[in-house]
Amino acid sequence: MNLLVISLAGIGDTLFATPLIHELRANFPAANIDALVLWPGSKNLLEGNPHLNSVHQKNLIRAGKVESLRFLWQLRKKEYDISINSHPQSRVHYRAVARLINARVRVSHEYDNAGGWDRLLVNRTLKQDYGKHAVENNLALLEAVGARRLLPQHEYEVFLSPAELKWAEDFIARHKWSNRKLLGIHVGSGGTKNLPLRRWPIDHYLGLFKELRRSHPELGVLLFGGPEEQKDHQVIEAQTSREQVLIAQTSNLRQAAALLKYCDLFLSVDTALMHLATAMKVPKLVVIETPTWNKPIEPYSHPFTLIPNPAVAGRNLEYYRYDGAGIRGSPAELLRCMSSVTVQSVCAVLHHLL
């Protein structure tokens, strides 16, 4: 049997697919199981996964039509028996990719924007459930391919190498932070559509660092992120002390994952780094609520503290649904929404946890 798991949405969404991949391997131990991802970071997280035979990666957004079609045609020639579009992948383009690869059985969830085209693109569907985590939405697809749950429990899976773990150990030792309590922070968010508008303002983070410096001088802060966060990191670095705040200069997400193992707490909005901190079992997760927050993208199978957003006020699905569109609301409105979460409210939660 030849299976393909398609996970073309965000990097964190690829983590949602790892329990499904493990279950597929448990159900079909002799099968060839591949994954198709959009982002290099997604491929990076799946490297070394013993339940996969291959990971195919291509940024179909940036590649031209000819290059993308050539790439998908090569996958089509592999003659997959089954393809599964993991949750959440609401854009119709993702289902079109499944049709071009043309597995005999093409499985997907049915999203809010489903239409007549979907019957031509995929041939087995299950309505998504906003009341269940994306992992549970994915596992519900097992029945559609003649499989069932065999594992006693499920969690995000990232398989780090001894070299990557040693790199993180050396990083902490080099900066002499081995005996400090560490707070990991990701100031960024997803970069597609208008998702960057859900970031908590940088001046709020600066106010938080000032308060933590006063109340918890023993606390070290590790800033996680990549090129997208570089400008914000430079602003923070210029206005804080290196004795308190340190930028985690990681080459990839696997190094970031290894370093997260040393954090006692982690703070962010709902981002891939939040899910990576979940995978690394950071003891205390703190999440600032955004308009995109909902049950499917909570940290899975791990406790967390949510800091409510007073501007969202329970209207999350009015702001954002899985229908292929961005967050509803003007940029000014969404920026005001994120500014409504005060420094004091975040400080109060961190003081309690510390």
pLDDT per residue, tens digit, the chain (354 aa), is: 999 999 999 999 999 999 999 999 999 999 999 999 999 999 999 999 999 999 999 999 888 899 999 999 999 999 999 999 999 999 999 999 999 999 999 999 999 988 888 889 999 999 999 999 999 999 999 999 999 999 999 999 999 999 999 999 999 999 999 999 999 999 998 766 677 889 999 999 999 999 999 999 999 999 999 888 999 999 999 999 888 999 999 999 999 999 999 999 999 999 999 999 999 999 999 999 999 999 999 999 999 999 999 999 999 999 999 998 889 999 999 999 999 999 999 999 999 999
162-353 CATH, one of 3.90.79.10, 3.40.50.1220, 3.40.50.2000, 3.90.850.10: 3.40.50.2000
| Rg, the chain, Cα only | 21
Q: H/E element holding 335? A: helix 331-339
Domain ranges of the chain: 2-145, 162-353
CA 325 to chain centre: 18
Question: What is the CATH number that goes with domain 2-145?
Answer: 3.40.50.2000
Task: Report pLDDT for 191.
Answer: 66
Between CA 27 and CA 151 the distance in angstroms is 10
pLDDT of 193: 67
Alpha carbons 42 and 46: distance in angstroms, whole number = 6
> How many angstroms separate the Cα of 174 from the Cα of each of 167, 169, 178, 273?
10, 9, 9, 23
- Give the predicted TM-score (pTM) of the model: 0.94
Give pLDDT, residue 148: 96
User: Which two tokens mark 248?
Assistant: 């985690």
Could you give the CA distance from residue 266 to residue 287 in angstroms, rounded to a whole number? 8
Domains 2-145 and 162-353 in one fold: yes
Query: Which two three-digit tokens encode residue 159?
Result: 């398989």
CB 326 within 8 A of CB 194: yes
Given a contact cutoff of 8 angstroms between Cβ atoms, the answer to whether 267 and 284 are in contact is no
Calpha distance 62→44 (Å, rounded): 19
**149 CB-near residues (< 8 Å, 6+ apart):** 23, 139, 142
- The 8 Å CB, 24+ separation contacts for 245-248 are 245/209, 245/220, 245/221, 246/175, 246/177, 246/220, 246/221, 246/222, 247/222, 247/223, 248/171, 248/184, 248/222, 248/223, 248/224
